[in-house]
C-alpha cells in the first residue's frame, strides 16, 4: 500500500524535532471528521498524512468524530467514513472516539473557565456578536454582558444546560481580547443553545460546544501529540493553545498543511451536498463526484489515490493539483493490475463470408501483458463478429489503417481479414461489413511475411454478452468551477456531457460472472469497472479512465 512518507516534508521535520528535544516520546495523531457528509479526496490527503506520519514513526492514530452539531449529523455518514478509511488501507484499531464522549468533561472545563474569570454568558444575538467583533482593520468592542459576575455566569450557564432558554438566546464566550489582531481571539463563542436530538446522546444536552473549544481539549484527553490540520486552522492555533494553557492540561502541538485543491473539481462539502440534493448528480456515490465512495464506484483504486496524494506533495503553500495527474496515477496502476478483455462500445456487425458456417474456434488471448502470472484465456471466434463502428470507414482519410473497402487488417488474436463490401440502412448508415479471412494467419501472423498496419478488437456475435457502458467526463468544464460571471454560480460550470450512457454494447463471454468493483482494460478503449447496478442479466460497466489523456489535447 502506498502511503505518505516524504522524508523531507516539514511535518516530518517538526515531529523529528519534537522527539529529539523530548517534547514528546511517542507520536500520536488523529483524524477528526465531521459526520455531516461523505469524505472526498481532500479528506484522503488528511487521512494519509495523519495515519502515514504516525505509521512512519511507529505511533498511533485515532479516529474521532467531531459530532458537535447534531442538526447536520447522521449515522449514515459515520458508517461511510469508516468504510472509506479502511478502503484507503488505514485502521484506527480500537481507538474510535467521538467529541460527544467528552461532553461532560468539556462542560466541567467550561465551568472552570467561568470560575477563573475567563468565560462569560452573553445575551447578544448572533448578528450583534458579529457586529461587535469588528473587522480585520478595526478592533471589536466589548459586549455589555462581558462583566457579569462569576456567580451570575455560573447560574446562567447551568440554566442553559438545563434547557431553560430558547435556541440562539444566549451563548458562552471566552473572555480574551476584543482588540486582538486575530479575530478568532475576540471572545470566541464556546457553547450555543441547540435543542436538537443527537445521534449518540439523544436529548441529554441542550447546549453544544463549538469546534474550537471541543477540538483541542479532545486532543489533550486522548494524548494526541500532533494535531495535523489544514491551513484554514492556522489562525485558530492561538485559540487552540489558549484554551489548553488556561485549563493547564496536556498540550498537543498543532501543525498546519495546505489542503488539497484539484482542477475541474469542487471540494466544498456544502457545494457537493447541493449537487446531490439538486439532482445534478445521482447521489454521493455518483462516479463523477470527488467523494471517495464515488471514486471507488468509478473504479479508482486506493493505491492510485494515495500515489497521487504523494506526488501532489505536503506543503505550506496553497496550490491546485492538476486532475490529469490523478488520472495518470489511476491509469498507471490499472495498467499493472487490470485484466484485458474485448468490449465493443458502438457495435457494427462484421461478417466473414468465407469462414465455415457453424464453426467456432477458441483463440488464446493474453490477460495482462504487464503481469505474466495473469496467464491467458480462451475467447470464441465465429463467422459473425462485432467490431467498433469507428474501425470501419467507407471513404477513409490518409493514414487510416483500420477497415475500409479493399483494406486488410488483423483481428486481435485472430486472423487477417480484408473488406469486400458493406451494407447500409435506409438512413445511409453502414450496418454490416463483409470481408474474407486468410486461414493461414491464425494468431494474427502471416506465413508469407506480409504485414498489415491495423489491428482491431472484436467479439463473437454468437457469444457476446449485452452490456450497458457509462462513459464519464469531468463534472465541470472550467478548470476553476468557482470562477463565475455576475449572476452565475458554480452550477453554471457543470459539464452537460459529463455522462454518456450506451446501452447496446457487447462484451466477450469471459465477463459473465463479473462482480461489482472488478477492474478491466477494454482493449483499445480504456479502463472500466463493473458497477453496483450490474447483474448477470444486465451487465453495467463504468469507464474509469481512458487509455490516454484526451482532455488535455482537446483543450490546448
Exposure string of 418-450, with b = 16+ CB inside 10 Å and e = fewer, is ebeebeeeeeeeeeebebbbbeebbeeeeeeee
d(CA 144, CA 153): 13
Q: Among residues 146, 259, 273, 389, which one is catalytic?
A: 259
Active-site residue 259, yes or no?
yes
Give the C-alpha distances (Å, rounded to integers) separating 208 from 82, 203, 373, 462: 24, 11, 57, 65
195: which 3 cell numbers? Answer: 435543542
Active-site residue 34, yes or no?
yes
Question: pLDDT tens digits for 310-369?
Answer: 999 998 888 899 999 999 999 999 999 999 999 999 999 999 999 999 999 999 999 999
DSSP secondary structure string, 464-484?
PEEEEEEEE--SBSSSSTT--
Residues 6+ apart with CB under 8 A from 366: 340, 374, 376
CA atoms within 13 Å, Cβ hemisphere of 483: 8
The per-residue pLDDT for 2 is 47
Residues 6+ apart with CB under 8 A from 103: 201, 204, 205, 209
67: which 3 cell numbers? Answer: 459530532
Active-site residue 357, yes or no?
no
Strands (E), 439-546: 455-456, 459-460, 465-472, 499-507, 519-522, 526-530, 539-546
Q: Among residues 269, 297, 383, 470, which one is catalytic?
A: 269
Sorted by where each starts, the structural domains of the chain and their CATH numbers stand as 10-257 (3.40.50.620), 269-337+467-554 (2.40.240.10), 340-463 (2.40.240.10)
**Contact of 228 with 48, CB cutoff 8 Å:** no
**Contact of 226 with 60, CB cutoff 8 Å:** no
d(CA 14, CA 22): 12
The per-residue pLDDT for 487 is 87
pLDDT in tens, the chain (556 residues): 444 444 468 999 999 999 999 999 999 999 999 999 999 999 999 999 999 999 999 999 999 999 999 998 889 999 999 999 999 999 999 999 999 999 999 999 999 999 999 999 999 999 999 999 999 999 999 999 999 999 999 999 999 999 999 999 999 999 999 999 999 999 999 999 999 999 999 999 999 999 999 999 999 999 999 999 999 999 999 999 999 999 999 999 999 999 999 999 999 999 999 999 999 999 999 999 999 999 999 999 999 999 999 999 998 888 899 999 999 999 999 999 999 999 999 999 999 999 999 999 999 999 999 999 999 999 999 999 999 999 999 999 988 999 999 999 999 999 999 999 999 999 999 999 999 999 999 988 888 878 899 999 999 999 999 999 999 999 999 999 999 988 899 999 999 999 999 999 999 999 999 999 999 999 999 999 999 999 999 999 999 999 987 645 444 4
Residues 6+ apart with CB under 8 A from 395: 404
Does the pTM exceed 0.75? Answer: yes
Compute, in degrees rounded to 10, the torsion defined by CA atoms 222, 224, 230, 233: 70
**Contact of 67 with 33, CB cutoff 8 Å:** no
Residues 6+ apart with CB under 8 A from 373: none
**Count of positions (residues) in the chain:** 556
At 286, give phi and psi (nearest 5°).
Answer: -55, 130
The per-residue pLDDT for 445 is 83
**Contact of 178 with 139, CB cutoff 8 Å:** yes
The per-residue pLDDT for 8 is 63
Query: Where on the phi/psi map is residue 76: left (φ > 0), alpha (ψ -120 to 50), or beta?
Result: alpha
d(CA 63, CA 52): 14
Amino acid at each position: 500500500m502506498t502511503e505518505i512518507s516524504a522524508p523531507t516534508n516539514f511535518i516530518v521535520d517538526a515531529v523529528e524535532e519534537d522527539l529529539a528535544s523530548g517534547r514528546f516520546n511517542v507520536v500520536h495523531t488523529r483524524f477528526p471528521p465531521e459526520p455531516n457528509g461523505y469524505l472526498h479526496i481532500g479528506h484522503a490527503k488528511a487521512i494519509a498524512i495523519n495515519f502515514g506520519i504516525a505509521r512512519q514513526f511507529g505511533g498511533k492514530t485515532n479516529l474521532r468524530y467531531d459530532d458537535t452539531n447534531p442538526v447536520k449529523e447522521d449515522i449514515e455518514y459515520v458508517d461511510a467514513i469508516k468504510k472509506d478509511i479502511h478502503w484507503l488501507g488505514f485502521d484506527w484499531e480500537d481507538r474510535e472516539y467521538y467529541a460527544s464522549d467528552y461532553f461532560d468533561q468539556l462542560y466541567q472545563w467550561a465551568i472552570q473557565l467561568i470560575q477563573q474569570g475567563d468565560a462569560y454568558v452573553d445575551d447578544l444575538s448572533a448578528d450583534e456578536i458579529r457586529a461587535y467583533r469588528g473587522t480585520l482593520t478595526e478592533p471589536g468592542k466589548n459586549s455589555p454582558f462581558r462583566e457579569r459576575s462569576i456567580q451570575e455566569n455560573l447560574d446562567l450557564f447551568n440554566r442553559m444546560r438545563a434547557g431553560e432558554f430558547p435556541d440562539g438566546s444566549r451563548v458562552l464566550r471566552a473572555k480574551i481580547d476584543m482588540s486582538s489582531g486575530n479575530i478568532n481571539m475576540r471572545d470566541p463563542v464556546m457553547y450555543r443553545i441547540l435543542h436538537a436530538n443527537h445521534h449518540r446522546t439523544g436529548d441529554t444536552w441542550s447546549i453544544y460546544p463549538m469546534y474550537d473549544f471541543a477540538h483541542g481539549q479532545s486532543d489533550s484527553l486522548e494524548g494526541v501529540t500532533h494535531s495535523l490540520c489544514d491551513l484554514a486552522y492556522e489562525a485558530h492555533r492561538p485559540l487552540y493553545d489558549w484554551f489548553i494553557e488556561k485549563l493547564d492540561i496536556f498540550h498537543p502541538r498543532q501543525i498546519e498543511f495546505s489542503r488539497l485543491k484539484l482542477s475541474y473539481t469542487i471540494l466544498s462539502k456544502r457545494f457537493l451536498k447541493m449537487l446531490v440534493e439538486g439532482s445534478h448528480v445521482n447521489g454521493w456515490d455518483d462516479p463523477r463526484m470527488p467523494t471517495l465512495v464515488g471514486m471507488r464506484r468509478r473504479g479508482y483504486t486506493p493505491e492510485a489515490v494515495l500515489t497521487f496524494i504523494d506526488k501532489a506533495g505536503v506543503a505550506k503553500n496553497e496550490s491546485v493539483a492538476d486532475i490529469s495527474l490523478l488520472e495518470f496515477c489511476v491509469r498507471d496502476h490499472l495498467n499493472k493490475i487490470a485484466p484485458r478483455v474485448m468490449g465493443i462500445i458502438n457495435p457494427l456487425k462484421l461478417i466473414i463470408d468465407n469462414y465455415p458456417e457453424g464453426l467456432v474456434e477458441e483463440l488464446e488471448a493474453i490477460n495482462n501483458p504487464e503481469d505474466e502470472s495473469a496467464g491467458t484465456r480462451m475467447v470464441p471466434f465465429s463467422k459473425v463478429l462485432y467490431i467498433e463502428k469507428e474501425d470501419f470507414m467507407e471513404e477513409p482519410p490518409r493514414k487510416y489503417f483500420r477497415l475500409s473497402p479493399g483494406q486488410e487488417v488483423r483481428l486481435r488474436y485472430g486472423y487477417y481479414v480484408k473488406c469486400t463490401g458493406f451494407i447500409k440502412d435506409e438512413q445511409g448508415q453502414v450496418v454490416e461489413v463483409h470481408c474474407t479471412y486468410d486461414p493461414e494467419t491464425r494468431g494474427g501472423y502471416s506465413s508469407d511475411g506480409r504485414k498489415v498496419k491495423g489491428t482491431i478488437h472484436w467479439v463473437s456475435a454468437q457469444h457476446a454478452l449485452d452490456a450497458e457502458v457509462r462513459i464519464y467526463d469531468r463534472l465541470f468544464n472550467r478548470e476553476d468551477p468557482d470562477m463565475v460571471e455576475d449572476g452565475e454560480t458554480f452550477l453554471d460550470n457543470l459539464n452537460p456531457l459529463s455522462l454518456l450512457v450506451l446501452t447496446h454494447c457487447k462484451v466477450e463471454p469471459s465477463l459473465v460472472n463479473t462482480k461489482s468493483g472488478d477492474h478491466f482494460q477494454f482493449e483499445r478503449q480504456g479502463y472500466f469497472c463493473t458497477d453496483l447496478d450490474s447483474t448477470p442479466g444486465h451487465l453495467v460497466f463504468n469507464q474509469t479512465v481512458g487509455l490516454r489523456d484526451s482532455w488535455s489535447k482537446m483543450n490546448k
